[in-house]
Amino acid sequence: MSSTPNESSHPERPSSEPPLYEGWSHWLRSPTGADLLAMEQTWLDESVGDCFGYHAVQVAPPSVDALRKNRMGLRTRLALGQTPTTVSSADETTQASACSVLRCDSQAWPIATETVDLVVLVHALEGVGDPHGLLREAARVLIPEGRLVVVGFNPMSLWALHRPLSPVQFPPIQDRWVAMGRVKDWCQLLTLQVEAGRHGQYRPVLQTETGLRRLAWLDKAGARWWPAFGAVYSLTAVKRRVGMRVIMPQWQSHPAKAAQSARSVGRAAQTSRKQPL
């Protein structure tokens, strides 16, 4: 079952998972959050702008419109484990992009298998109890040659190092951050071929815009000297279907075999006559 444009579907069955992206709207209004939002929105616009098809699905914070530059006719936002209040805020964000909203669990998407051309997961793997299960569900609904875009926090970054002790407000994610290398391994198991990946955001989390401007040089230096230690990453993968080539046996009729045997005997006789005594 898939959704239809400009319609919101909120199942009556309550979700068994805690609300995803709770508190994100407030954090994205902070100086570091706003800077992160601008960078990730640019990444997403570049990643989905050239993706064509019929149906696109996004799992993203309410303030992020991952499908803003995408031109697919059917666009759906999944509200994983979210309360009706959070879903309402997501509805307001997606009105401009004509997205429908579906409330569901991360392990049970109400979408038929192999019916989606594009899936975008923005900080979704960090917020669920089973990130591999969420990625497996995304791979299930993708059609062969469909695209997957994942944006997440890097556990090997400056943000991750001083997150436990810093008094500065961090992204409201309590679960562990999933490294890009692990996501690549999961993609390989799910027949998803990773095509591109990048890191960004090398400045620490700060509370003032003045401090962010003073440390702007870290982004250029980090991208050149320690690119793998950026606070966030993005990767794009394509679903491949493992094919099988059937090799048919080359059957030959009995007359053909007899003729081939006769030619072999004739060539052997001619060779023996040419040999000197």
DSSP assignment of 67-94? TTT---SEEEEEEET--HHHHHHHHHHH
Q: Point out the least confidently predicted range of 37-46, 76-85, 125-134, 202-211.
A: 76-85
The answer to whether residue 46 scores a pLDDT higher than 70 is yes
At 81 the pLDDT is 74
Helical (H) or strand (E) element with 263? helix 254-274
At 21 the pLDDT is 84
The answer to whether residue 265 scores a pLDDT higher than 60 is no
Task: Tell me the C-alpha distance between 119 and 66, whole Å.
Answer: 10
Q: Percent of the chain scored above 90 by pLDDT?
A: 39
Q: Point out the least confidently predicted range of 8-17, 97-106, 187-196, 230-239.
A: 8-17
At 97 the pLDDT is 57
The answer to whether residue 173 scores a pLDDT higher than 90 is no
- The answer to whether residues 223 and 200 touch, using CB atoms and an 8 Å cutoff, is yes
Q: Pick the more confident residue, 176 or 171.
A: 176
120: pLDDT confidence band, cut at 50, 70 and 90?
very high
At 244 the pLDDT is 57
Q: Is 215 helix (H, G, I), strand (E, B) or coil?
A: coil
Q: Point out the least confidently predicted range of 34-38, 114-118, 223-227.
A: 223-227
At 176 the pLDDT is 80
Q: Point out the least confidently predicted range of 54-58, 109-113, 140-144, 271-275.
A: 271-275
Q: Where are the beta strands (DSSP E) in the chain?
A: 8-9, 55-59, 74-80, 100-104, 116-122, 142-153, 192-200, 232-239
149: pLDDT confidence band, cut at 50, 70 and 90?
very high
Q: Percent of the chain scored above 70 by pLDDT?
A: 70
The answer to whether residue 9 scores a pLDDT higher than 50 is no
Q: Considering Cα of 89, then 111, then 192, then 68, what sign does the dihedral take?
A: negative
Task: Tell me the C-alpha distance between 257 and 254, whole Å.
Answer: 5
| Alpha carbon separation from 239 to 11, 65, 131, 193, 194 (Å, rounded) | 29, 23, 18, 6, 9
CA dihedral in degrees (103, 70, 233, 30; nearest 10)?
-70
The answer to whether residue 259 scores a pLDDT higher than 50 is yes
- The answer to whether residues 48 and 70 touch, using CB atoms and an 8 Å cutoff, is yes
- The answer to whether residues 171 and 127 touch, using CB atoms and an 8 Å cutoff, is no
Stretch 144-164: mean pLDDT? 86
